[in-house]
């Protein structure tokens, strides 16, 4: 079983729309949305939620005022300035390290584990889908990504799915690292803008750092021919396979408004052909690679 | 006065608005690029960047000659960054959250402060613009402490604009916490609306005054407008979808330079935000 992850560095380049289109074309796959703090894939795949689970993340300190002697020890040792002068813990500043809880001389601090979100096993239009929702302003997105990737793998193994298609988060930090480590291959969806090129290079560096085979897809390719050429040159220089170009197309937004993926919406025949061709290349590239056996959670 | 420019969804135009806004102002202004995973503001500003300042974070340094294998350090670590095998401590620095608990509890004094590199900061200056940019080291997972370091570069009396990272979790919370106003940039599509709702949830949780900027305003449907009306959130600026604007942006140019009529609109935007902050302060 293979795992393909779709990332971009820069946000808004079309990761989710492309992922949803692939899901309409691909056979025997499982979908996994790892953009857990701004998940959108469900808006294109009409998943019917079969099971909902709590995501228990880290713990937060809570001071029991009745038992607190105002000794000041916790405020002194907290590195995150999370405890106010009147000994109330700011849940947003608290990092969940628990040293106040461990070292309070009167044991006046509780450290309960927090529910930080939910995750779902669903049946989408195209097949099984695992997705999640991180609570507002919550931490531990990397941990949640790690969890749903693990569950995706268990379920895909049970289903005997060929491939897991992972919609990744933007950026190159904790949730992205958790989404890419140990996958079979990554597809970079890039737009031909200075920001797009700049962010693509950092995402390429990240994939190189984790020794992951990469491909590049240029979206909105006709917005800037020069930048488009820069992307092609950079991909060539780094020996990264270019799987295709998709010119700017309003069908993406139209399909989104219909709550449909752009392939099944089939507003533009040429676009659907192009997407099919791109998927065949992405699939055969990924399918010819060996998947590493395990992955580590960097958090 | 600190104004943060944020969005749930990526690629909605945060950097475009932040850079055009500061380029329209005549008074001294500081721009902080807090999107440390993918900082882009410098690409539009043509400023000569200064020397790199490394940003490091605390991780424990272990002297295994002094360790007697008591495991107090690994027991207190909530992030599994330390493992004790016999009387040897193995540290996984990338898992460390810098709470320093291990050093506090080690009875042998075997732990002292070490460091892990998070990335770097750079500064640039022009006539009225001071610019700070944080860049996360590739492979480093933790953006928030670097974002904090960039935010610490400002003084209380400055006018500060923060270009925040996308999302609704710790990086963006760190970037917009304790700011005076949040401009939420979105696009009028189902994705834009879905992520805007999440972002509004986050600014309400932090109790921050906010308004909406709609980019590519005529591209999708009118659900964002309906939502804003229903929730009583001001739509403070709208930028139309225009291939020309997309091309200007794609070349790394500023809209206010290519189409000077935009200067006034961004000045107006700043005036409106300033008034909202002042009105809030009186309340």
In angstroms, what separates the C-alpha of B270 from chain A's closest C-alpha?
Answer: 24
Per-residue model confidence as pLDDT tens digits over B76-99: 999 999 999 988 999 999 999 999
Residue A172, chain B, CB below 8 Å: the answer is yes
Q: Which residues of A touch B251 (CB under 8 A)?
A: 193-194, 224, 227
B264/chain A closest Cα distance in angstroms? 25
Q: Which residues contact A279 (CB under 8 A, 6 or more apart)?
A: A21, A22, A25, A26
Per-residue pLDDT reduced to its tens digit, A58-110:
899 999 999 999 999 999 999 999 999 999 999 999 999 999 999 999 999 99
Nearest beta carbon to residue A227 from set B76, B139, B250: B250
Nearest CA in chain A to B42: A195
Residue ranges of B 41-60 with Cβ closer than 8 A to chain A: 43-44, 58
**Among residues A283, A299, A192, which one has the least CA distance to residue A246?**
A192
Provide the chain A residues 131-170 that lie in CB contact (below 8 A) with chain B. 134, 136-139, 141-142, 169-170
**B40, B141, B168 member nearest A142 (Cβ):** B141
Q: Which residue in the block uniquely carries the two structure tokens 């986050």?
A: B202
Segment 114-133 of chain B within 8 Å of chain A by CB? none
- Kind of pairing between the strands at A2-7 and B82-85: unpaired
Longest dimension (CA), chain A: 72
> What average pLDDT is seen over chain B?
96
Please state, as a whole number, how many other Cβ atoms lie within 10 Å of the Cβ of residue B29. 21
CB B35 within 8 A of CB A198: no
Instruction: Calculate ∠ Cα B197-B17-B198, nearest 5°.
Output: 10
Q: Does B206 touch chain A (CB under 8 A)?
A: yes
- Three-state DSSP class for residue A27: coil
Asked if the C-beta of A48 comes within 8 angstroms of chain B's C-beta atoms, the answer is: no
**Closest-CA distance of chain A to residue B186, Å:** 11
Is B191–A40 a contact, with Cβ atoms under 8 angstroms apart?
Answer: yes
CB-based contact, A198 to chain B, within 8 Å? yes
Q: What ipTM did this prediction achieve?
A: 0.94
User: Residue B122: CB partners within 8 Å, gap ≥ 6?
Assistant: B42, B49, B50, B51, B52, B53, B132, B133, B135
Whether residue A298 is predicted with pLDDT greater than 50 in this model: the reply is no
Interface residue A296 vs chain B (CB under 8 A): no
- Judged by CB atoms closer than 8 Å, whether chains meet at B252 and A195 is answered as yes
pLDDT surpasses 70 at A295 = no
pLDDT of residue A133: 95
With a cut of 60, say whether residue B5 has pLDDT above it.
Answer: yes
User: Any chain A CB within 8 A of the CB of B272?
Assistant: no
- Percent residues over pLDDT 70 in chain A: 97
Residues in chain A with CB shorter than 8 Å from the CB of B167 are 37-38, 141, 169-171
State the best of B5, B191, B206 to mutate against chain A, taking most chain A CBs within 10 Å: B191
**Nearest-neighbour CA in chain A from B266: distance (Å):** 21
A98 touches chain B (CB under 8 A): yes
Q: What share of chain A is helix, strand, coil (3-state, %, to 5)?
A: 35, 25, 40
pLDDT band at A292 (very low <50, low <70, confident <90, very high): low
pLDDT in tens, A39-53: 999 999 999 999 999
Averaged pLDDT for residues A191-219: 97
Give residue A138's pLDDT band: very low, low, confident or very high (50, 70, 90): confident
pLDDT digits (tens, 9 = 90+) for B247-279: 999 999 999 999 999 999 999 999 999 999 999
Minimum CA–CA partner of A141 in chain B: B169
A202 at interface of B, judged by CB pairs closer than 8 A? yes
For residue B167, give the nearest of B3, B39, B11 by alpha carbon.
B11
So what's the pLDDT on residue B281?
A: 81
In the stretch 230-259 of chain B, residues with CB closer than 8 A to chain A read 243, 246-247, 249-252
Q: Is the pLDDT of residue A293 over 80?
A: no
Judge whether residue A296 has pLDDT over 60.
no
- Identify whether the C-beta of residue A199 lies closer than 8 Å to the C-beta of residue A10: yes
Which residue shows structure tokens 């399918």? A287
pLDDT in tens, B151-169: 999 888 899 999 999 999 9
pTM of the entire structure? 0.95
Residue A137: band (very low, low, confident or very high) from pLDDT cuts 50, 70, 90: confident
Q: Do residues B61 and B112 lie in contact, with contact meaning Cβ atoms separated by under 8 Å?
A: yes
- Select from B67, B70, B89, B92 the least CA-distant residue to B81: B92
CA dist A181 → A209, A252, B20 (Å): 10, 29, 37
Considering only CA atoms, which of A132, A115, A133, A180 is closest in space to residue A32?
A: A132
In chain B, residues with a C-beta closer than 8 Å to the C-beta of A206 are 138-139
Q: Does A95 contact B206 at a Cβ distance shorter than 8 Å?
A: no
Tokens representing residue B114 in the block:
């070490």
């Amino acid at each position: 079983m293979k795992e393909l992850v779709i990332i971009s560095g820069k946000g808004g380049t079309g990761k989710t729309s492309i992922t949803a289109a692939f899901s309409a074309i691909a056979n025997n796959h499982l979908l996994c949305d790892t953009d857990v703090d701004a998940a959108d894939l469900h808006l294109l795949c009409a998943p019917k939620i079969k099971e909902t689970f709590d995501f228990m993340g880290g713990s937060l300190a809570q001071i029991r005022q009745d038992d607190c002697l105002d000794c000041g020890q916790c405020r002194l040792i907290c590195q995150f300035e999370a405890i106010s002068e009147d000994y109330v813990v700011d849940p947003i500043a608290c990092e969940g390290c628990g040293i106040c809880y461990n070292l309070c001389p009167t044991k006046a601090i509780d450290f309960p584990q927090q529910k930080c979100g939910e995750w779902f096993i669903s049946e989408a239009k195209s097949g099984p889908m695992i997705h999640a929702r991180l609570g507002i302003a919550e931490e531990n997105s990397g941990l949640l990504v790690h969890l749903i990737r693990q569950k995706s793998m268990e379920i895909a193994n049970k289903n005997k799915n060929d491939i897991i298609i992972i919609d990744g988060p933007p950026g190159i930090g904790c949730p992205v690292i958790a989404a890419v480590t140990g996958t079979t291959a990554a597809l970079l969806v890039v737009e031909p803008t200075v920001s797009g090129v700049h962010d693509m290079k950092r995402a390429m560096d990240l994939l190189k750092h984790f020794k992951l085979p990469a491909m590049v897809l240029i979206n909105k390719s006709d917005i800037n021919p020069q930048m488009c050429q820069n992307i092609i040159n950079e991909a060539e220089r780094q020996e990264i396979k270019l799987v295709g170009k998709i010119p700017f197309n309003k069908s993406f937004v139209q399909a989104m408004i219909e709550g449909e993926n752009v392939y099944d919406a089939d507003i533009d025949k040429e676009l659907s052909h192009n997407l099919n061709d791109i998927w065949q290349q992405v699939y055969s590239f990924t399918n010819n690679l060996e998947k590493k056996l395990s992955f580590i959670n960097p958090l | 006065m600190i104004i943060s420019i944020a969005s749930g969804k990526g690629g909605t135009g945060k950097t475009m608005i932040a850079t055009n806004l500061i380029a329209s102002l005549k008074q001294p202004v500081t721009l902080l690029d807090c999107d440390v995973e993918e900082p882009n503001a410098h690409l539009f500003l043509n400023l000569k960047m200064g020397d790199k300042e490394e940003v490091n974070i605390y991780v424990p340094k272990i002297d295994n000659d002094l360790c007697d294998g008591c495991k107090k350090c690994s027991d207190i670590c909530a992030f599994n960054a330390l493992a004790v095998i016999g009387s040897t401590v193995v540290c996984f620095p990338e898992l460390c959250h810098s709470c320093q608990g291990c050093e506090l509890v080690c009875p042998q004094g075997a732990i002292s402060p070490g460091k892990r590199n998070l990335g770097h900061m750079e500064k640039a200056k022009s006539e009225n613009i001071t610019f700070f940019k944080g860049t996360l080291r590739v492979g480093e997972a933790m953006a928030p402490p670097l974002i904090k370091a960039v935010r610490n570069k400002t003084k209380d009396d400055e006018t500060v604009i923060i270009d925040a990272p996308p999302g609704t979790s710790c990086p963006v919370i760190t970037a917009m916490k304790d700011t005076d106003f949040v401009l939420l940039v979105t696009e009028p599509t189902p994705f834009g609306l879905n992520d805007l709702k999440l972002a509004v949830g986050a600014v309400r949780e932090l109790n921050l005054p906010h308004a909406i900027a709609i980019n590519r305003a005529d591209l999708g449907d009118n659900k964002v407008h309906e939502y804003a009306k229903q929730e009583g959130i001001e739509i403070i600026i709208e930028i139309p979808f225009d291939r020309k604007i997309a091309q200007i942006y794609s070349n790394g140019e500023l809209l206010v330079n290519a189409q000077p009529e935009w200067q006034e609109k961004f000045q107006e935007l700043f005036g409106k935000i300033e008034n909202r902050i002042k009105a809030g302060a009186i309340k």
